[in-house]
Amino acid sequence: MSTNLHVSAIREVTVNSTGEQSWQVDKFDLWQTPTKVTYAILETDDPYSAYIKWVLELRTVRTIPRYAPNDFFQEGEIVGYDTYCSEDSHIDELATWHKAMIDNGYEIEFYYL
């Protein structure tokens, strides 16, 4: 079993009606990392960039056949091809989450479990 990289965003908030202070936490699901990669990323000054670099090392662009919109079972002729890269999509989602957390006053923390 590997020791995996995780990321959370945390901020302290105050409830206006009671004055009570608490913490809000939001998490983003990172891909499973080998233990060696987890530790290497956490040893850097910028785990966010190091994780993205690791994901980019896995980058594979796939060509997927496209069928007519009404060909639900994909039994007819191929009408074209689309390209897809899950690594690019993952990085885009992470970047959007990261920016939203920073913009909303959260502190980002990378850690292992």
Rounded mean pLDDT, 20-36: 97
Band the pLDDT of 2: cuts 50, 70, 90. Answer: confident
Confirm whether pTM is higher than 0.95.
no
Whole-number pLDDT of residue 1:
74
Least Cα distance to 94 among 112, 110, 79, 83 occurs for 110
Q: Give per-residue pLDDT as tens, 44-88.
A: 999 999 999 999 999 999 999 999 999 999 999 999 999 999 999
Q: Which contacts (CB < 8 Å, 24+ apart) does range 35-43 have?
A: 35/2, 35/3, 37/5, 38/2, 38/3, 38/4, 38/5, 38/112, 39/3, 39/112, 41/5, 41/110, 42/5, 42/110, 42/111, 42/112
Sign of CA dihedral 27, 30, 34, 36: negative
| pLDDT tens per residue, range 37-52 | 999 999 999 999 999 9
pLDDT tens sequence across 4-17: 999 999 999 999 99
Taking 90 as the threshold, does the pLDDT of residue 112 lie above it? yes
